[in-house]
Structure 1
Amino acid sequence: MSILIADSGSTKTEWVLIQNGEKEYFNSDGLNPYFRTHGQLSEAIKNGVKSSLKNSKIDKIHFYGSGSGNASRKAILQNAIRENFPDSEIFIESDMLGAAIACFGNNEGVACILGTGSNSCLYDGEKIVKSIPSLGFVFGDEGSGGYFGKRILNAYYYKTMPEDLRNALEETSDMSLESVLHKIYEEPQANRFVASFSKILGDYRDHPFIKDMVRRGFEAFADKQLGYFEESKQKEIGFVGSIASVYKDILEDVLVKRGMNLAVVVRKPLENLVDFHNS
């Protein structure tokens, strides 16, 4: 039997093909049905997934993705995948459930995502039993790449950012205001574009300005998203995402000061999902 498992965010999708005891990993574009039409999703799957599989027969597809928690959006993605894999069993779940499984497996806990966007839920070891309203890129996503990207751009243009960080941005990106505003307001997937500026968090992880920004972002996440769940101080808390992994020490300190227990941080959930479906 061949199984294809995906962990998909708005920016990229990580895949693994399990076949004859072997694992083959590859990436494709993000497949968030909130930001892509049915046609765009189908084309991206054809060019980024089918082309990587070299005509392998796929028996089952387990897809965990952002934007897949909504029934109507899930149906759009389901149809796009089925167009490309008509003979496969297809199971689509939210990236939030994927994060919960990656953090806790069959055990309960509060699971959190810090990726291009952010989210959190209460998980009972089988299913999500309580979730926070997902306010998205404009109104929510505390502690995410998009959240920090907006603050980095704000600090750059208002000149509240240290000169060395300003120079670093100018060396790697077109920072003309006209260009940035055009990409945000006139081109698709503004959330991905804005979140791309959060790369500087990893490049300058020891910079005082960056560490202070990260702490404030984690505090906002803890107070607003974890504060939404009264169980947050009784249950173990797990995070997935590179921002949580890179700044685990700050994240743990923020949670401890609020009487919360950081139990696990998973940088990339895909391998844990593989173990779960192979167990």
Structure 2
Amino acid sequence: GIQRGVFYRRDDGSVWIDLREDGLDEKLVLRSDGTSVYMTQDIGTAIQRFKDFSINRLTYVVGNEQDYHFRVLFLILKKLGYPWADDLYHLSYGMVDLPNGRMKSREGTVVDADDLLDEMEGTARSLSEELGKSEGLSEPEKAKLYQVLGHGALKYYILKVDPRKRMVFNPEESIDFNGNTGPFIQYSHARVRSILRKSEGLSRAWSWADVCLDERSKELIQTIYRFPEVVEQAARTFSPAVVAQFAYDLAKAFNAFYQSNSILNAESEALIAFRIDLSRATASSLKRALELLGIEAPERM
């Protein structure tokens, strides 16, 4: 870097790069005693990763407090002539605050992740028992359900927000069985699976000529049809929030369809078969969307 004029050495022996023409500052890359700084280590690590692994893009998932650091890092690597420097990306995520403010270790307001997960499971237990969501389940099944709901509530509440935005995590809101929450979507999936279990043994024969679609059915089909496009968009924009929004939209669309249409007691066998298949496609898409978010889709609730 020094030989190519990218870096320069000061009188005290330290090595720097001048990025002022690029709208940034001068940056130290090597101390006068020859020891490295964080920037030096990140430069070396990036170079080594592209040497050791067959990769075409490198994404750094780091909080937005390090935005400036990665702007400098990527620019340095580009000035050093590495062709893959344009394929580096900083997924800059916002911080998560509590309802009473920002978490600070000095003030003892940092929440341990394990403690938070335990708290979420406890909240899921209390609310599920209050609403009768776990009736008919064995004790092991109940324990598993509370874990799935608690963890799902936490993951979904965080992932539904664009990762670049700062957010406030409210445990009580996240566990609600109504609204844009993980448990609402999980309950919707369990409802569909219950219908499908009851449909076992019924005729599967139908054709489009035998089916007259109402508006709710059309909306549900159109929502399911969007799924591949949603996944592609989420990957392109590095935003799981897109998948989370789809899962919520699909759960809402199915519930609207369910409220407007009888599935197992429809007017004809063909219509019953069609609505069963539509329900099956809904359950499959809901489960896959939740899996992409790292959330389990319960079969029973």
- Which TM-score applies when normalising by structure 1? 0.28
Higher relative contact order (CA 8 A, sep 6+): 1
- Which TM-score applies when normalising by structure 2? 0.26
More strand by proportion, 1 or 2?
Answer: 1
Which is higher, the Rg of structure 1 or of structure 2? Answer: 2
